[in-house]
Structure 1
């Protein structure tokens, strides 16, 4: 099943499976979200919960009991319930279940709230701890922006001038090796060589927005004020770029396995709520 919201400028379509955004079109019918061709990558904009990235040995411990979670968690693969809808806003909900409790022993509700406002789509993630213990979690976004034409015609413009230090992945885990992403006036021309070692992982950034330029002109802006970390990723010859606001990231080799002690993890007390949002603006 799918649900579409719209205003006079944009429409956005969301699958109930994973509450995954799969389309943003303007009123000229131009598509801005990657089509999901499985020859490159079969998703569009999955939610990453209750972890972001990869756990060491795909496992973690709570009170000395071992659990297993796949890369980026399980929410993206589960069916969400549509709980509210208006013309330009929709709310999806995922509740913990017998299935999720075997992988993640916490009672929760995860809401994804999509709102259109003029030429922007805001995605809000709301996490509710419905249990009686403090809940550790991470959450992140993974929207793939379609880049029609020549990949080399695009560039990334960061909001601020800063040293763009990113971490190198090794076997899907964050290594101690870092590099500085070279810029000219905050701009990084896109080329596939940048991603030869997988995603660029920025643990912290001063920039809270990033603009994709096409032929040096603004194309799409992603603003992520609530998210301290960012991933940027594509695949060889794929006509998309993923701009991924994160609260959390992959383990390192030194990780103890205790989820409460995981670098970048958030904790939410019983009966408390957490929310974070980011926006995609069509320029």
Structure 2
């Protein structure tokens, strides 16, 4: 099912398929990538209970439980239950099932909550532990934004603008596995606090900020204040990703990363692992503001 959030500045379309958003419209334009199965069929998938991938799609918990998850986990491919809403708020819920427990052996309830205020969309992921033991997990967003935003523009007319200076060297993805090499670092392609966008930037892989100072990143047209501002105060990592043939850029605030070269396969030993106590709900949020 679909649900529409709308005020005098913003219209956001939500869907129970994956529990996420499918449109962010304002100022006479569409800000969210509208998807192309030939390039990338996603739009803004929820990454849960992992962000990125596990080595051979497998890990073991500290207590010996088996975890078998495909890249980004299973939430993005599940049908969520609509949990109510109005013109400016809505929530969708995913609860663990026997099938999901075979992949991730922890009973949970994931609520994706959305609210608009002015030109800003707030996205909150509420992860509740409905079991009887500590629950390790990861949560993250994966929104892909249209780039360019208007007809007649080029991809290279745009840049990402970070709020802070970032590290001179970045870790890199290993294309054959999707995992992360944190020991052999590459030059950061940023120019000061700007990351100029070109399709060639994504010939190799995504740009991974595993040591991140910024918590606000903007997609903006060069020499013009037009774009999208993504703020993620409680997400420690950022992935910037696209396809060489894709007119989009994904700005992905994550609470964890794919398994890194200096990590073993114990689930709790992965960077950024969160743990919810029995009965506890952990909340992580980010906002998308258009301008």
**TM-score using structure 2 length:** 0.93
Distance in 2 separating the partners of 1:187 and 1:255: 31
* Deviation for aligned residue 1:188: 1.9
Is 2:47 aligned against 1:52?
Answer: no
Distance in 1 separating the partners of 2:229 and 2:186: 24
Which runs of 5 or more residues in structure 2 are unaligned? none
Aligned residue in 1 for 2:141: 141
Number of matched residues?
A: 282
Which of 241, 249, 256 is equivalent to 2:249?
241
Distance in 2 separating the partners of 1:232 and 1:65: 32
* Deviation for aligned residue 1:255: 3.4
Deviations 1:37-67 (A, max 9, x none): 1111001000000000010010111333433
Segment drifting more, 183-192 vs 228-237: 183-192
Which runs of 5 or more residues in structure 1 are unaligned? none
* Deviation for aligned residue 1:201: 1.1
Distance in 2 separating the partners of 1:273 and 1:101: 18
Is the CA contact (8 Å cut-off) linking 1:165 and 1:202 kept in structure 2? no
Aligned residue in 2 for 1:193: 200
Aligned residue in 2 for 1:108: 108
* Deviation for aligned residue 1:184: 3.5
Which of 219, 227, 230 is equivalent to 2:235?
227
Distance in 2 separating the partners of 1:147 and 1:260: 36
Is the CA contact (8 Å cut-off) linking 1:143 and 1:244 kept in structure 2? yes
* Deviation for aligned residue 1:280: 0.8
Segment drifting more, 237-246 vs 265-274: 265-274
Deviations 1:20-48 (A, max 9, x none): 211011152x1111011111100100000
Distance in 1 separating the partners of 2:170 and 2:68: 27
Structural mapping, 1:125-140, within 5 Å: 125-140=125-140
* Deviation for aligned residue 1:265: 1.3
Is the CA contact (8 Å cut-off) linking 2:206 and 2:240 kept in structure 1? yes
CA RMSD of aligned residues (A): 1.4
Aligned residue in 1 for 2:167: 163
Structural mapping, 1:1-283, within 5 Å: 1-28=1-28, 30-62=29-61, 63-148=63-148, 149-163=153-167, 165-170=169-174, 171-175=177-181, 176-218=183-225, 219-283=227-291
Q: 1:160 to 1:256 in 2, by over 3 A?
A: closer
Distance in 2 separating the partners of 1:54 and 1:48: 10
